[in-house]
Copies of this chain bind each other. A is one copy, B any other.
Amino acid sequence: MSEHHYAVIMAGGGGTRLWPVSRKENPKQLLPLLGQETLFQSTVKRLENLFPPERILVVTVEEQAREMKQQAPEIPEENYLIEPAPRGTASVVGLAAKVLQRRDPNAGMAILPSDHFIRNVDLFHYLLKAAFEVAEQDFLVTLGITPTMPSTAYGYIQQGKPLDGEYKYPVYMVKSFKEKPDEQTAQQLLRMGDHSWNSGMFIWRADSILEEIEKQMPELGAALNIIGAAWGTPGQNEAIEKNWPSLKNVTVDYGIMEKAERVAVLPAGGLGWSDVGSWSSLFEVLLPDMNGNIATNAGLHLAHETHNTLVYGGGSDRLVVTIGVDDMVIVDTGDVLLVCKTDQAQKVKDVVEHLKKHRQETYL
């Protein structure tokens, strides 16, 4: 990887779909969901031998930064960019690009979510290298994930004609971005064969994305210019405090990518990617035993006529006994027990909404 290439790990969010393990104070990326490492640690580790720690940036919020610095002490402290307040990924991506551009006018950057799983790390490395190659031609590049089912949980990217030129990996112009579809539409998109899932992984040169921001979100561009000029000077905090709060809260996908012209996609099959977006996704990520069962972070699990069932013990060492249980997710934290049919795991967020409405703060 060129010395001008940087990784930017995005780690601000919360999310409720892995409740009761993920909580307001304990977001998904900071949890050892898949075993010993947290998702954030796995994300950092996945960059080993590709980026030296000095070229890995982490964008996060104040409340998470301390824990992250403990989980990944190899990343230099000055590489943590603290998002003053949540203003959507467009602002955050812009800030990271601005900071990187000041540091290295030739900077290229890979935007990577902190809370995803990728089984095939070698292919991931290969794809990133291929994507940077395309990005050097002033493209905004996105990694698409070849769908394995008609998921309604992801946005989709439709590819257009192949890019001219010789690249390491097939790359296409993006024809359109599509929001999360309903079941029927998802099946249609799958049949069309030219749609990928939007993974939220983007690769571009800092100056390419900043130019696009100037064009499409001039107010953000202006604010970034002021903040960028003050960055690293005594006026930095004042510049942020004055200009950040008024920014529009918008994602980079819909704020920038949808209307940009030079957008390319690498449709990646075989990555073994998952956004670990619900309890049911753990069946894709962890390796079930011969009965389809998974016990993780649990004490002893005694499975009696039990199939396709996940027991997530939250680190407690209690004995979990299941008898005649099929297709269930059992999550056991100290204060909450969740028993959920796997195909209804997305309803966990409704439960969290219910708890919010009834002010059951201790469980949030």
Contact = CB atoms under 8 A, between A and B. Distances in A.
B323 A344 contact: yes
A324 B337 contact: no
A330 B343 CA distance: 19
A335 B323 contact: no
Contacts of A337: 318-321, 330, 332, 337
Interface residues of A, number: 34
B336 A319 contact: yes
Interface stretch (A9-17, A78-86, A94-102, A348-356): A348-356
Given A305-B344, A344-B305, A339 B321 contact: yes
Given A302-B354, A350-B304, A351-B302, A318 B335 contact: yes
Nearest to A324: B341
A335 B354 contact: no
Contacts of A338: 321-323
B351 A336 contact: no
Contacts of A320: 336-337, 339
B323 A340 contact: yes
Interface in A307-364: 318-325, 328, 330, 332, 334-341, 343-345, 347-348, 350-351, 354-355, 360, 363
A113 interface: no
Contacts of A318: 334-337
Given A305-B344, A344-B305, A339 B322 contact: yes
16 contacts: A302-B355, A305-B344, A318-B336, A319-B335, A319-B336, A319-B337, A319-B360, A323-B339, A323-B347, A323-B351, A324-B340, A324-B341, A325-B328, A325-B341, A330-B337, A330-B339
